[in-house]
Amino acid sequence: MKPKVFITRKIPAEALEKIKEVCEVSIWNNEDVPVPRDVLEKEVVEVDALYSMLTDAVDEQLMEKAKNLKVVSNMAVGFNNIDLKVATKRGIKVTNTPGVLSETTADLTFTLMLATSRRLLEASDFLRQGEWKTWSPMLLTGQDVYGATLGIIGMGRIGEAVARRAKGFDMNILYHNRSRKPGTEEELGAQYTDMETLLKESDFICIMTPYTPETHGLIGEKELQLMKKTAILINTARGGIVNEDALYKALKNEDIYAAGLDVFENEPIPTDHQLLKLPNLVALPHIGSASIKTRTTMANLAVENMLQALNGKVPPNLVNTDVM
């Protein structure tokens, strides 16, 4: 009998075909809305594998219903949507898709650095709204990226990919991480600092750390107050790492210069949210890894992880290694 799989969103055709060759597949084929909780709860009852997205809460209540579940293959590097402890206790393997999205996410991080510092959206709107009357020395002037100081919070694979790009812009790189990275310090000239120094000295502060109970609200009022008035905050990790009310106040009062956010505490952020009224905020709909090539690679890697786990093997990207 073929193992049963539920896929919680439309995925690239080549990834789906690979699963269909060996599994009985049920899929939530709607790209616009996540699978409703009641549908998900029904679907997991019989499945051997769940192919999930970062928007699906795989919690105790869900796993309790999924008596046959052997693997949760998350098509994302982040896995904060899954209760790892419960999965491990129930012998469920959890996998993610690290590495393959680092460069694409670093590209978007840099896009946000450039867009915020050079006021790209403001300038584009200015032109389209017919406000451009003449060239003028101080018109729409912003901040330089070239030669500025970049502070990276969380020097993992994506942080390193951002730092490599920053080197090409002759930036001075500071970083804060749970552990020091001597290789990165040597290769990229990155300097390890405590959090306070990083916040005080950086022109750009990029959040690249995983979202955990420890990093929830890591950037709040106190941290924003430590930043330079000209500082720019970029978040392409997870929304909950930044306190959005504190950020709103800091941007509104011009305590910092701008922010670029690809992620929000609640996604999708409502269009009437106070943050979206600010001219010094560039907001994107969580598209850090959204290139066709990378999303296809992520989908295929999630398939490989899932099939290996179903075959009783150690999948390449097992997160809860103690489950073995």
- Mind telling me the catalytic residues? 238, 267, 286
CB of residue 47 to ligand DGY, shortest distance in Å:
22
* Residue whose entry in the numeric block shows the structure tokens 């999205």: 101
CB of residue 74 to ligand DGY, shortest distance in Å:
8
302 binds ligand DGY, rule: CB under 6 A:
no
Nearer to ligand DGY, 77 or 150 (CB): 77
- In the set 76, 92, 246, 251, which binds ligand DGY (CB under 6 A)? 76
Nearer to ligand DGY, 149 or 294 (CB): 294
208 binds ligand DGY, rule: CB under 6 A:
no
Nearer to ligand DGY, 117 or 289 (CB): 289
Window 80 to 109, contacts with ligand DGY (CB under 6 A): 101
Nearer to ligand DGY, 76 or 163 (CB): 76
| Interatomic CA distance for residues 254 and 67, integer angstroms | 53
Nearest to 241 by CA among 269, 268, 212, 266: 212
* Residue 321 DSSP label: G
78 binds ligand DGY, rule: CB under 6 A:
yes
| Interatomic CA distance for residues 253 and 90, integer angstroms | 49
77 binds ligand DGY, rule: CB under 6 A:
yes
Nearer to ligand DGY, 4 or 238 (CB): 238
| Interatomic CA distance for residues 86 and 94, integer angstroms | 11
* Pair 163, 155: CB distance under 8 Å: yes
CB of residue 289 to ligand DGY, shortest distance in Å:
3
* Pair 292, 8: CB distance under 8 Å: no
Which residue spans within the chain are E strands per DSSP?
4-7, 24-27, 49-52, 71-74, 93-95, 149-153, 172-176, 191-192, 204-207, 232-235, 258-261, 281-283
Q: Which residues pair with 82 in a beta bridge?
A: 58
**Total chain residues near ligand DGY (CB under 6 A):** 7
111 binds ligand DGY, rule: CB under 6 A:
no
288 binds ligand DGY, rule: CB under 6 A:
yes
Q: Which of these ranges, 75-83, 107-115, 138-146, 243-251, lies near ligand DGY under the rule CB under 6 A?
A: 75-83
* Residue 276 DSSP label: G
| Interatomic CA distance for residues 162 and 165, integer angstroms | 5
- In the set 35, 40, 47, 54, which binds ligand DGY (CB under 6 A)? 54
Binding site for ligand DGY (CB under 6 A): 54, 76-78, 101, 288-289
